[in-house]
Amino acid sequence: MDVDEIRSDLTEVLITEDEIHAKLAELARRVETDYAGNPPLLVGVLKGAVMVMADFARELKMHVEMDWMAVSSYGASTESSGVVRILKDLDTEIAGRDVLIVEDIIDSGLTLTWLRANLESRGAASVKILALLRKPEAAKVEVDVEYVGFEIPPAFVVGYGLDYAEKYRNLRAIGVLAPHVYQ
Ligand code: 5GP
């Protein structure tokens, strides 16, 4: 889906499809250098990271394996609590592996802090994080993210995997959702 189809649902287009792909290419070159001769296991977090994973993995000029986790925060609050429940676990044994978590967005960072600790506790050789977007002003905890695509303001964004009520995930660009959609 292109921006033109839902233009009035957005207050602005934050990042275009071309900008996303250029950034993923840049990150892929860094990952190829950092993991040279030692291909990582990419772990995507469902469902938001599906688009990032698909494009980033194809951009990489090296063999990688992919696996997926689905997690949810406990409680009904829209605020991230940092307490996480695993809805779908990895199929892969990660002891001794170099793991690269692939995420769409980091808001409070609580989910990723928990996830990294969880994967480290399984004996992974290393656990690093790649996130396409980061909202720095919302950071509640210091989470070390090795690869960040774009720093964005603390607005609610949709597109490229990110949803509002399961919609907009298939939007090619990333935009700020207009208040009239959710108010
Ligand atoms: P946190 O970093 O706060 O633990 O949680 C990050 C998760 O919150 C993301 O994986 C995503 O599902 C959701 N999230 C945070 N900010 C946004 C946003 O601006 N738009 C959308 N669609 N989801 C967001």
Q: Domains in the chain, start-ordered, CATH in brackets? A: 17-152 (3.40.50.2020)
The tokens describing 90, both together, are: 């990895």
Cis peptide before 128 (omega within 30 of 0): no
**Does any ligand 1 atom lie closer than 6 A to the CB of residue 158?**
yes
How far apart, in whole angstroms, are the C-alpha atoms of residue 10 and residue 3? 8
Residues 54-67, mean pLDDT to the nearest whole number: 97
Among residues 4, 107, 144, 163, the one annotated as catalytic is: 107
pLDDT of residue 61: 97
What confidence tens digit (pLDDT) does each residue in 148-177 have? 999 999 999 999 999 999 999 999 999 999
Confidence of residue 75 (pLDDT cuts 50, 70, 90): low
Question: Rounded to two decimals, what is the model's pTM?
Answer: 0.93
User: Is it the case that residue 30 has pLDDT exceeding 80?
Assistant: yes
Residues 84-90, mean pLDDT to the nearest whole number: 94
User: Is it the case that residue 80 has pLDDT exceeding 60?
Assistant: no
Residue 9 annotated among the catalytic residues of the structure: no
